[in-house]
């Protein structure tokens, strides 16, 4: 589906609570970018969509809404066709 430009944000989170937001996002990307690059892209994209996200925050410390933001930003970073 990813190759077709389709992204999915699932209702049930698939995040590791002991990792940061950026680390969780990096797990789903196949480009091998450094974590600092992924964090910068995630921060910029989150603010451009009005979903501010601190990529360095630990998922275990985040609210449900903030965790949903990670899922959305992770999907958007996979460049779906909008």
pLDDT in tens, 36-47: 999 999 999 999
Question: 82 lies in a domain?
Answer: no
Question: 17 lies in a domain?
Answer: yes
Domain count, the chain: 1
Measured over the CA atoms of residue 18, residue 22, residue 23 and residue 24, the dihedral's sign is positive
Q: What is the structure's pLDDT at 6?
A: 59
Enclosing domain of residue 53: 2-77
Predicted TM-score of the model (pTM) = 0.82
> Cα 22 to chain center, whole Å?
7
Question: 63 lies in a domain?
Answer: yes
Closest CA to 35 of 64, 68, 27: 27
CB-CB contact of 31 with 74 (8 Å)? no
User: Residue 58's beta-bridge partner residues?
Assistant: 20
Q: What is the structure's pLDDT at 31?
A: 81
């Amino acid at each position: 589906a990813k190759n077709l430009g389709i992204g999915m944000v699932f209702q049930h989170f698939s995040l590791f609570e002991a990792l940061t937001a950026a680390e969780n996002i990096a797990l789903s990307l196949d480009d091998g970018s450094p974590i600092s690059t992924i964090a910068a892209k995630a921060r910029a994209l989150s603010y451009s969509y009005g979903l501010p996200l601190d990529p360095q925050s630990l998922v275990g410390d985040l609210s449900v809404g903030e965790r949903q933001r990670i899922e959305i930003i992770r999907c958007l970073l996979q460049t779906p066709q909008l």
